[in-house]
Every structure is written in C-alpha cells, then in structure tokens.
Amino acid sequence: MEGMGLGVREAGPALVCRVVELVCALPLEAVIETMRPLPIDALGAMPPFVLGVSVIRGAPVVVVDAGLLVGTRSTPARSRACRHCSTVQRGRP
C-alpha cells in the first residue's frame, strides 16, 4: 500500500476498526474525531471509493468507502450500515 502513503509504523495508541473483513488500526495521532455518520452529498466523476462530501463543523470533508479504499469490497449498503465515522487527517504528525 506504499502508493497510498500507507506503511508500517512503530506500535502506538491506535483506533482499531473493522473494514468489511479486515481489522485496521489508525494511529490516534491522525484521528481528529469519531462521530455518527452525517448526510452525504454525492459528487460526479469521482473514484468508486469516494461517496461524496459531508459538512463537518462548517467545512466540506470528503467521505470515502473504507472497504473500497483498502482494496477489498464496498462496506454493506455503501456505508449506510456504518455506525461511526472518523475524521482522519493524512500526514498529521
């Protein structure tokens, strides 16, 4: 997954979550917040893993299907079965 900017890191505090059949760990330092899903406005001409945009605290945030993003399959009901969403900033220290 090196092409996606992901790699192996030293162990540390992490948010562990299930993505379809995978168990993933997000470093806590990259997690901004975890919340219930918000309404999503679809966008045209986007990669399949991009579901659209939600407005979080007044700012637009891209919403992705984590199953498709990591290369497995879509989450059930295209994320409608998702119980929580996490806002993650790529490259955050």
pLDDT tens-digit readout, 16-45: 888 878 888 888 888 888 888 888 899 999
State residue 8's pLDDT score: 62
Question: Torsions phi, psi of 68, nearest 5?
Answer: -70, -35
**Distance (Å, whole) CA 35 – CA 38:** 8
Query: Can you name the residues that pair with 31 across neighbouring β-strands?
Result: 88
State residue 90's pLDDT score: 64
> CB 36: neighbour CB atoms within 10 A?
8
Residue-averaged pLDDT of the chain: 77
pLDDT tens-digit readout, 39-87: 889 999 999 888 889 998 899 988 888 888 888 777 665 444 455 567 7
Question: Torsions phi, psi of 21, nearest 5?
Answer: -100, 0
pTM, whole model, 2 decimals?
A: 0.67
CATH numeric code, 2-88 = 2.40.50
State residue 3's pLDDT score: 43
Q: Which of 60, 44, 63 is nearest to 52 (CA)?
A: 63
